[in-house]
Structure 1
Amino acid sequence: MLEPFVVEVWGKPAGIVIKEGDSFRFHAVAHPFFEIDGTEYNTPGHARLAAARLGNDDHGAAPGASFGKARH
């Protein structure tokens, strides 16, 4: 059984990802990540990428910039 892990964007918590069956569900803890709250992903990395795309709008980072770290 996999443990839930925290997803951070720009060093701030975005949410947690929990394995549910064959997918991983994202649970948001802050704005703007509530937009993807409850969404299922194939991998934890896909959940992190979705959060990073939302968090990118707040910082105006260039495409391809680093979006923080996911803890596994």
Structure 2
Amino acid sequence: MKNLYDVQQLLEKYGVLVHVGKRIWDIELMALELDNINHSRLIDKHDYLIAKMILRREHEHEERKEKEKHRS
């Protein structure tokens, strides 16, 4: 797993499809769904941690974009 698309594909394996409409909201919902899958002990710990890191990175990227947008 290397990017957000890979995390989406992972979640689809568990029947989770996320599309709220705003990318940052999608990322937040994906993180919640991933946590639920992890709490159910359905996902490998390594895959869970890699996916969480990707989601965190993408979320931080979206936050930076929002801040830059508001500065303009």
Question: TM-score, normalised on structure 1?
Answer: 0.33
Larger Rg: 2
Whichever structure has more strand as a proportion of its residues is 1
User: Which has the higher relative contact order, 1 or 2, with Cα contacts under 8 A spaced 6 or more apart?
Assistant: 2
Question: TM-score, normalised on structure 2?
Answer: 0.33
